[in-house]
Structure 1
């Protein structure tokens, strides 16, 4: 039962919905829960929580841009009041599709996406504010992905790393590549205007690791300090002429007109979760989804992803 006082704190809402406080803030930010401020404090009305429970969580279809006739959509589950919810951090479309499948799986649950980069996602996992984190962090010393970073950023907590897909990272350039940009060495050309990703995301780590290998001072790159928070935004900046090139995944190049993609490095995009959670029904549902033909077929239809190892546990740390 909810208390008679109609004003609830984010902590109280988190306890009612059996989710993390971080998820409550994300729901408010996305407009899923109306809220108001008293000074610096956020308050949420009891009636709005009740309305949210009645309506169920909004479909992720709008986020992914996908559409499906209503008669072909799988039936959405009606969750009990205390149904569990998983917070999944990461920025790839794969995670949006995973969330949608999770919400219709017989053993699934509500799924809440937190659009955080690889470092931020691992930190949320470490602090207990997230259940899973999608990451793509390259270690140039060992030429491997993710494992060294998980050991450093989530110390003392046994984790499982599950492979999602191989992706291609490369440069976005204008159609026809008029400036003849070919590879990492072009970062040193002072006349070229670069646009960067924010610190802590996998793409920024990839860039900085290559700069370290090349012994190239990052401050000498024209535009290194100019940052954007998504692959699509960077590709769009290049298409508009605000930058000459940028580093990102191939998917965004397919989505933005006037962009050509120069492949540079294949990367592993993987999912990290606490090992102690793996036996729980909702996490077993995730494993079943990743192994399913329906999930893989949907990803294959999007292009850019190599799915040979999807769903495979590649490491335990």
Structure 2
């Protein structure tokens, strides 16, 4: 029955031909009533149809092709005064952060969006996300994140807080049979690479290193062979589909038949827009990331450097 059908944010983004971050923004604003099933947010078919009709001009007339419209619940019934916070990024530490935020702030409902670093900052500029995680290397300065944040969040007041640091480098076959040592080895003829999607921190890292080493992307076999997360990159190398991939050390520890060559320690930071409406939950987030309880949970997961965790790196 129609009332039994529901959609995930990803399914709605495909149906409406909009980004998943825009879907989360609609949920956050209350335009798409939603509810949680496990870690997923879901929207009933009736509420999606009501949203579509409202945006066609508010007409309740139905064409012969359109399914019947079912009344959607009122915003008060759906949200009960709860505000949604969209947290972007893919690292598991963000799931732990979301859990702590939900436990400490009953009036907040964290929503996770698995977007890349650059896309996340763009979504924050558009007002579509609340807490952005980013690990973007500026090759000219060697600085992480701040050069990109300053350029993209022009005119905004924001806070940058370190969540953790971690090693990034190459996934290679066990024992490193091709004797790959560093970025300059990417110039080797015939070396097969698997790449991350545009907008991800790993893609920016690779592209910056190619630029600095004078290597043209077109010379890399597999440069357009794209996967959308570290685990998939490591799996492609483990399966022999590629000789090399850029990713983080932590993923290498959970994938069989993979080697890892650490090349750079990257800073993984959180960005939040500062305003009066956000100040209360920003204070709670700072308390969480600076707490021993939160750090102890991260310490239990190998591959993280917590020496800067909770430190405010920049405040505009």
State the TM-score bracket (shorter-chain normalisation). Answer: 0.7 to 0.9
> How many residues were matched structurally?
279
Indicate the SS of the match to 2:175: coil
Residues 194 and 288 (structure 1), Cα distance of their counterparts in 2 relative to 1, 3 Å cut: same
**Is residue 312 of structure 2 the alignment partner of residue 313 of structure 1?**
yes
Report how far residue 35 of structure 1 moved.
2.6
Structure 2 residue aligned with 1:32, among 39, 42, 57? 42
Partners of 1:312 and 1:45 lie apart in 2 by 49
Residues 108 and 146 (structure 1), Cα distance of their counterparts in 2 relative to 1, 3 Å cut: farther
Partners of 1:311 and 1:247 lie apart in 2 by 27
- Per the alignment, residue 127 of structure 2 pairs with 128
Residues 242 and 299 (structure 1), Cα distance of their counterparts in 2 relative to 1, 3 Å cut: same
Partners of 2:136 and 2:201 lie apart in 1 by 5
**Is residue 101 of structure 2 the alignment partner of residue 102 of structure 1?**
yes
Give yes or no for contact 2:234–2:258 (8 Å, CA) kept in 1. Answer: yes
Partners of 1:308 and 1:173 lie apart in 2 by 28
Give yes or no for contact 1:89–1:114 (8 Å, CA) kept in 2. Answer: yes
Report how far residue 19 of structure 1 moved.
3.8
Indicate the SS of the match to 2:301: coil
Residues 21 and 194 (structure 1), Cα distance of their counterparts in 2 relative to 1, 3 Å cut: farther
**Is residue 220 of structure 2 the alignment partner of residue 221 of structure 1?**
yes
Give yes or no for contact 1:14–1:21 (8 Å, CA) kept in 2. Answer: no
- Per the alignment, residue 231 of structure 1 pairs with 230
Give yes or no for contact 2:81–2:107 (8 Å, CA) kept in 1. Answer: no
Residues 89 and 189 (structure 1), Cα distance of their counterparts in 2 relative to 1, 3 Å cut: same
- Per the alignment, residue 291 of structure 2 pairs with 292
- Per the alignment, residue 210 of structure 2 pairs with 211
Length-normalised TM-score, structure 1: 0.79
Residue deviations 1:27-71 (CA, integer Å, cap 9, x gap): 9x9562233676x94899656889x95xxxxxxxxxxxxxxxxxx
Q: CA RMSD in A?
A: 3.3
Partners of 2:281 and 2:213 lie apart in 1 by 44
- Per the alignment, residue 164 of structure 1 pairs with 163
Residue deviations 1:212-240 (CA, integer Å, cap 9, x gap): 11111111011111111000000011111
Partners of 2:143 and 2:191 lie apart in 1 by 30
- Per the alignment, residue 183 of structure 1 pairs with 182
Residue deviations 1:61-120 (CA, integer Å, cap 9, x gap): xxxxxxxxxxxxxxxxxxx71111211111211111100111111566210011111111
- Per the alignment, residue 58 of structure 1 pairs with none
Length-normalised TM-score, structure 2: 0.79
Partners of 1:23 and 1:173 lie apart in 2 by 45
Give yes or no for contact 1:176–1:260 (8 Å, CA) kept in 2. Answer: yes
Residues 16 and 279 (structure 1), Cα distance of their counterparts in 2 relative to 1, 3 Å cut: closer
Indicate the SS of the match to 1:104: helix
Give yes or no for contact 1:16–1:82 (8 Å, CA) kept in 2. Answer: no
* Structure 2 stretches lacking a partner, 5+ long: 1-11, 17-22, 55-68
Give yes or no for contact 1:253–1:260 (8 Å, CA) kept in 2. Answer: yes
Residues 300 and 180 (structure 1), Cα distance of their counterparts in 2 relative to 1, 3 Å cut: same
Partners of 2:31 and 2:214 lie apart in 1 by 42
Partners of 1:25 and 1:136 lie apart in 2 by 31
Report how far residue 17 of structure 1 moved.
6.6
